[in-house]
Structure 1
Amino acid sequence: MHPPAILLLGPTASGKTASSLALAQTLPIEIVSVDSALVYRDMDIGTAKPSADERAQCPHHLIDVVSPEENYSAARFRADALALMHDITARGRIPVLAGGTMLYFKALRDGLSDLPSADAELRRQIDAEAAERGWPAMHAELARLDPDAATRLEPNDGHRIQRALEIVRLTGRPVADSYAQREDDDVPFRLLTIALVPSDRAVLHRRIEDRFAQMLEAGLIAEVQALRARYALDPAMPSMRCVGYRQVWDYLGGRDDYDTMKFKGIAATRQLAKRQLTWQRQFREAWQDLQEIDCLRPDLAATVRQTAQAWLEG
């Protein structure tokens, strides 16, 4: 029988950190972060990175592993996560993969698609076109070339529009064709997948608003200023496209005033949560082991712990 591993996924502000730490109270676990922002060093406030006290409660992995100047791909995550899962199991402990980057969860469970590698020159060309025409116009071009891909993207989601156009221009085929050509890589673990979902999305939205305000009070603007001073960054880098950082970058550049920056940061975080929940609905249909738990219930952490214990004992 394969060794056990627990996947804990949910939208932003759904209580993943507290729930994963609750597992550590009764189970011999180590936590592997599944978050495309937590991998970056010196990006602490805007990523809601676990505190030193929280990280001291049990071992954490894939946090602070790359510079904000670097890229970190789904392929690299899958390789890193599988290696860590084997190491954790060899120590007689249970890997808990917790986070909200749904693409990483999909890459881990379903394998990697046959996507072309990034083409730096083509990306510069697309960025130059976007600077001249705007991302909505680039989205319209994508809709002409690949209508299905365009319907899944917001007209101002420059990062994803850029990648979709890059794939279409490199392959001459719709994006879905490349995703369909997937490596058959089974995960050699017995998986429990717990998805945190809100029974009332308005409550989750209020949490998001409160949390972003707390990030600003905690010094998010100063954090971005320090990042700009320490590293050679530009707003096109994946690290600076993270929700919150992108809006503060525009504020520091004089593009928006403070209230507009705050409004955009909250709106972008809500859009992120919406995309995460869309991913989770797709996972519900595809993954038979997935169990959903209302992230708004007052006994969430205890329920997650009880669900995992019952599964391990079953």
Structure 2
Amino acid sequence: MSERILALMGPTASGKSSLAERLAERFDGELISVDSVLVYRGLSIGAAKPDYPHHLVHLRDPVDPYTAADFARDAKRCMKEIIARGRRPILVGGSMLYFRALIHGLDDIPSIDPAIRTAIENEAREVGWPALHRELAQVDPASAAQLHPNHSQRICRALEVYRGTGVPLSSWQLGEAISQADQFECIALCTEPRAALHRRIECRLDGMFAEGLIDEVRALMARGDCHSDLPAIRAVGYRQVWAYLQGEVDLPTCREKALVATRQLAKRQLTWLRSWPDLTWMNTDDAGRLIQVDKTAIEPVKTDENNEIAAVEPVWADRIESLMRNF
């Protein structure tokens, strides 16, 4: 598979889906979702499930695990099938680990003794996940730098890989040949100033509550086999509503916690993106209007020496036009 493939990345609520849908309609494309929540059936409202058709949506039951390696395998299959149909694959989403697994590769990690994970979880109950995050920073600083001190699932995974293999998880994830990465044209959308992104996040979250997020989580809880430690239930929004339904917080607190968690998610996504090699930044306007993919200006964002967003310089959309036409 030698064709160049467009990958649209960005923080939550940045307008990725709208741009991707416009591109798919104009250039006979098919969208592949890069979202670690949308892969689970029954998670629609809180995952902002788009109406436009996407591949790799609602693949698994919430109790069944789905890994970045699973995604990379499924996405490669989808891309080949789309190309075989004479159409253009367009990747769109905000799950940066999924993008990394697909574009840069994940080496095969040996099976880890389950007893190691059990031991780590027991330690966490005694000393807390922030303490284990500090331990991880000593043995695998690259992985620790990408994780919040309370991101229990991924801290546990990184520690179990190190303890089980003696090799940091970040070293296992160094990736495949650069030739694979060269297949992808990676574009990141951002909304500046940051307050504009926060407004978009708040508006979307309130829309989710209005559309029935609480009832959606209630239905998952009523199944009887879902619990708060599942990756699907730990997703932003779902975790906070689950706590509300269990009587741990009142509704205003639930909403506020979900809002804060979503903003933190966007911050982590931007941190990932700022470290991504060969990335083109494009700015969405803070009014939330759809970017026009014709001779309307699209704005790539410049960064300063500290890799902070410094200025925006308008250019034409010829780069996307050329990419999509030269299939």
TM-score by length of 2: 0.84
Where in structure 2 are the equivalents of 1:185-196 lying within 5 Å? 186-187=179-180, 190-196=183-189
Structure 1, unpaired ranges of 5+: none
Aligned to 1:129: 123
Structure showing greater relative contact order (alpha-carbon pairs closer than 8 Å, 6 or more residues apart): 1
- Give the 3 Å change call, closer, same or farther, for CA 272–4 of structure 1 in structure 2: same
Deviation at 1:207, TM superposition (A): 1.1
Q: Which runs of 5+ in 2 are unaligned?
A: 299-316
Q: Distance in 2 between matches of 1:292 and 1:29?
A: 21
RMSD between superposed Cα atoms in Å: 2.4
Partner of 1:46: 46
What is the aligned partner in structure 2 of residue 275 from structure 1?
Answer: 268
Maintained 8 Å contact 1:198/1:296? yes
Equivalence for 1:96: 90
Judging changes above 3 Å, is the alpha-carbon distance between structure 1 residues 311 and 223 closer, same or farther for their aligned structure 2 residues?
same
Relative to total residues, which structure has the larger helix share, 1 or 2? 1
Provide the secondary structure at the position in 1 that maps to 2:42. Answer: coil
- Taking a change above 3 Å as real, the CA distance of residues 153 and 198 of structure 1, as seen in their structure-2 partners, is same
8 Å contact kept, 2:106–2:172: no
Residue identity in the other structure for 1:49: K
The answer to whether structure 1 residue 150 and structure 2 residue 137 are counterparts is no
Partner of 1:86: 80
Paired with 1:295 and 1:119, the residues of 2 have a C-alpha distance of: 46
Distance 1:188 1:267, change over 3 A: closer
Preserved contact between residue 6 and residue 97 of structure 1 (Cα < 8 Å): yes
1:200 aligned residue (186, 193, 196): 193
Given the alignment of the two structures, is residue 262 of structure 1 paired with residue 270 of structure 2, yes or no?
no
Structure-1 residue corresponding to 2:12: 12
Q: How far does residue 137 in structure 1 lie from its aligned partner after superposition?
A: 2.8
> Helix, strand or coil: the match of 2:164?
helix
State the one-letter code of the partner of 2:215.
Answer: A
1:238 aligns with 2:224: no
Establish whether residue 175 from structure 1 lines up as the match of residue 145 from structure 2.
no
Q: Which residue of 232, 246, 252 maps to 1:253?
A: 246
Range 90-99 or range 125-134, more displaced = 125-134
Report if aligned partners of 1:30, 1:88 keep a CA contact under 8 Å in 2: yes
Pair 1:223–1:274, CA change in 2 (3 A): same
- Say if 2:103 and 2:181, in contact at 8 Å, map to a contact too: no
For the pair 1:312 / 2:324, whether they are aligned, the reply is: yes
Report Cα offsets for 1:236-274 as digits up to 9, x if no partner.
Answer: 111111111111122222222222221111111111111
1:130 Cα offset (Å): 2.1
CA distance in 2, matches of 1:260, 1:45: 19
Pair 1:188–1:134, CA change in 2 (3 A): closer
Report the alpha carbon displacement of residue 64 of structure 1 after superposing the two structures with TM: 0.8
Equivalent residue number for residue 307 of structure 2: none
SS at match of 1:239: coil
* CA–CA distance in structure 2, aligned partners of residues 311 and 173 of structure 1: 39
Q: Secondary structure at the match of 1:70?
A: coil
The DSSP-based 3-state class of the residue aligned with 2:6 is strand
Post-superposition offset of 1:15: 0.7
Q: How does 1:27-38 map to 2 (within 5 A)?
A: 27-38=27-38
**Is the Cα–Cα contact under 8 Å of residues 10 and 276 in structure 1 kept in the other structure?**
yes
Q: Is the 8 A contact 2:71 2:98 kept in 1?
A: yes
Residue 295 of structure 1 pairs with residue 284 of structure 2: yes
Distance 1:11 1:117, change over 3 A: farther
Instruction: Provide, for residues 123-181 of structure 1, a one-character-per-residue CA deviation record: whole Å limited to 9, x for no partner.
Output: 3332233233322232233345445543443222212221122122212343333333x
CA–CA distance in structure 2, aligned partners of residues 119 and 248 of structure 1: 34
Counterparts of 1:13 and 1:129, CA distance in 2? 36
| Identity, % of aligned positions | 46
Q: Distance in 2 between matches of 1:237 and 1:186?
A: 36
Cα offsets for 1:203-252 (capped at 9, x unmatched): 10111112112211211111111012225112111111111111112222
- Rounded Cα–Cα distance in structure 1 between residues aligned with 2:162 and 2:181: 33
Structure 1 residues 27 and 152: alpha-carbon distance in aligned structure 2, compared to 1, 3 A threshold: closer
Per-residue deviation at 1:118?
5.5
- Verify the 8 A CA contact 1:111 1:185 in the aligned structure 2: no
1:19 to partner: Cα distance: 0.7
Structure 2 distance, partners of 1:189, 1:83, is 18
2:13 aligned partner, one-letter code: A
Query: Counterpart amino acid of 1:25?
Result: E
Q: How far apart in 2 are the matches of 1:141 and 1:187?
A: 33
* TM-score, length basis structure 1: 0.87
Distance change >3 Å, CA 273–CA 252, structure 1 → 2: same
Matches of 2:141 and 2:32, distance apart in 1: 36
